[in-house]
A and B are shown apart, each in its own frame.
Chain A
Amino acid sequence: MITVHVAGIGLCGPGMADWPAGRAILRGELSFSSELPNPAPAILPAAERRRCGQATRYALQVAHEAVTAAGIAPTEAAVVFASADADGENLHYILESLATPEHEVSPTRFHNSVHNAAAGYWNIATGAHTPANSIACFDHSFSAGLVEAATQVVTANRSVLLVAFDLPFPSPLNEVRPIVAPFATALVLTPQATDSTLAQLTITLESRGGESRCARAELEELRRGNPAARALPLLQAIAQQQQPSLLFAWGGNDVRVEVKG
């Protein structure tokens, strides 16, 4: 059993340009909208913002929002980026180039192809020399990311920024791996409660199966259709200041999260 505290949240997805907008939707104060934001993370220098992909823009937007809300310096936190397959648009263009007789891969596309591109751009933008991890577990990437981040918090006794992001692939990959809409969220996790603490999470693993869902159909569709949006039941509990016991699927081991306000 491990316990961590949520000190700040970032959010970017359909109808949710940031955490306050998302929180209003999750509380039912605003109706769900499929309108997509166009994140332009201010923390990233303009040249890097042009060079990186949309997936990285989503990731850095929520990362910046979360550390700002938590009131910590970005250079302080270790980072864990969780995404099923990171920048799918970039992958598609590389695969298209490789299928031509010229096989020409753009050097920028090649360095953006690493799964840890978002983490790399974050470190460059913030100047943080802290550990950066980049992990994946297909539809369960958020579960794996949460546990990886939480174990770092408790074993190193430090703040960790967890960022989950997944975006739809272009065709034809989207037909074999459909993702319904772009979604990114970030949580700053701290070892002790702080003035910014929004919730305390107590995490255990269990193997009975099952997972928490969203009651509202549009949110549930998003949760099921985007790996990063599997975080929605947790975000909803925090938005509604509820204290549920949540379950996040993770293959044979599922993540039990007891939320306390």
Chain B
Amino acid sequence: MTPLFITSYTVTSALGHGKAAHQLALRQDQSGLRANDFADAPLTTYIGRVEGVEAIALPAALARFDCRNNQLAQLALEQDGFAASVSAARARHGAHRIAVILGTSTSGIQASEQAYRHRDASGALPDSFSFETTQSMNSLPEFVRHYLGLEGPAFVISTACSSSAKVFASAQRLIESGLCDAAVVGGVDSLCAMTLYGFNALQLVSPEPCRPCDRDRTGISIGEGAGFFLLEKQVSHLSLLGYGESSDAYHMSTPHPEGLGAALAMEQALATAGLSPAQIDYINMHGTSSRTNDSAEDKGMQRIFGTATPCSSTKGATGHTLGAAGAVEAAFACLCLEHGFMPGMCNTLTPDPELGSALQLHAKARPLQRVMSNSFGFGGNNCSLIFGVNP
């Protein structure tokens, strides 16, 4: 495929706001997980909550979009000069030629959860509830498009936990087809009662901070986060080199036990990038810390890479940010490439002896040229991305 260049990016998660905070935390194996203090779902677990989301006020003209997910989106857009970079790109390309493709799994569902708790005697929802601009899937790209003053093709991808990895693939196709010249891609997912209680019903929520790939791992920690990227054709030092998308065709909420779909996505990503497995320096795993995911992903990686390629999961630092995980971890891949390091796996003490991949427990400085990022979701929906840096 024709490579696309990343001319600006930013990330916000439980580790902090913006790139500098993340680089520091990831290099020092710090975790942003905390004992659950999210009032909407008081379960005994740990969460990756972003500080300061509630304090964000949307512009008055966009007040109808007010919900936790869009507050988090705005908080993230204002880090690292991202919104300003988009503004400059708008002057270069024109507002109509910049697409907005974003991933989310639950959009602004917290607004509906609150509205359902405040139905009147007839069962009607409060007048203040605005479905289209909060709960509806398209709320996120519509808010971001207005916030950034863009008028290009805009839509949301919602394929559970691979959502905001797949946005890179769709943007690449849209630009390669000539339907636009640049794209803002990324993803946002925010804490809500549905995902905490839902994953809890599936017995996937850990009572302790999650420990991806640990022998004694007891499930996932749910987090929230946001990542945004500006993709353009003009040469820059960071680039999207390849993407692979596949389906498990196995089960709605359990990955293929042999990692078949995961392996197909990784293989496809290498094929579109025109790279051999040995040319990948580090893999940022999906690594949710569920027993089945980590085992399936390990088998998938071994099938394509053997056992020598260094890999780690950063979910112990951020929690599983679900529909934002693709974008958050794509940003981590870019940080690693720019600053020459591989993150470790905080909280993971004893690597599961049944896993064969080269797990990196501790952050390590090392120059990297190409990094793969894996994202796998419910419905057996898989996406692998490859990013590179020009020295």
Q: Tell me the A residues contacting B by CB distance below 8 Å.
A: 1-2, 78, 84-86, 91, 94-96, 98-99, 103-107, 110-117, 119-121, 123-124, 126-138, 140-141, 144, 147-148, 150-152, 154-155, 171-173, 175-177, 204-205, 207, 250-253
Contacts and interface: CB of A to CB of B under 8 A. Distances in A.
A134 B158 CA distance: 6
Main secondary structure of the interface of A (DSSP, over half): mixed
A95 B157 contact: no
Contacts of A252: 95-96, 151-152
A234 to B, nearest CB: 18
Contact of B378 (A91, A116, A133): A116
Contact of A154 (B156, B172, B177): B177
Interface in B317-353: none
18 contacts: A86-B158, A96-B116, A98-B194, A104-B197, A111-B253, A114-B378, A115-B137, A119-B159, A120-B252, A120-B379, A129-B246, A129-B264, A131-B245, A132-B381, A138-B132, A177-B136, A205-B153, A252-B152
Given A104-B201, A120-B380, A152 B138 contact: no
B177 A205 contact: no
B137 A85 contact: yes
A104 B200 CA distance: 9
Interface string B233-274: 000000000000111111111000000110010000000000
Contact of A129 (B123, B169, B174, B247): B247
A251 B198 contact: no
Given A132-B381, A172-B119, A99 B138 contact: no
Given A85-B137, A121-B252, A155 B201 contact: no
B305 interface: no
Contact of A137 (B96, B138, B160, B260): B138
B100 to A, nearest CB: 9
B289 interface: no
B178 interface: yes
Nearest to A112: B252
Given A171-B123, A172-B123, A250-B153, A84 B249 contact: no
Interface residues of B, number: 70
Given A115-B137, A138-B142, A147-B153, 5 more contacts: A155-B176, A173-B125, A177-B131, A204-B179, A250-B153
A106 B201 contact: yes
B381 A116 contact: yes
B154 interface: yes
Contacts of A144: 153-155
A138 B138 CA distance: 6
B158 A115 contact: yes
Contacts of B170: 133, 135, 148, 151
Contacts of A137: 138, 141, 154-156
Contacts of B246: 129-131
B194 A94 contact: yes
Among B159, B194, B260, B379, find the residue whose CB has the most chain A CB atoms closer than 10 A.
Answer: B379
A205 B179 contact: yes
A212 B136 CA distance: 25
Contacts of A126: 249
Given A96-B116, A111-B253, A133 B379 contact: no
Interface string B119-134: 1000111000111100
A151 B14 CA distance: 36
A251 B154 contact: yes
A111 B158 contact: no
B159 A116 contact: yes
B56 interface: no
Given A2-B179, A114-B377, A253-B152, A172 B124 contact: yes
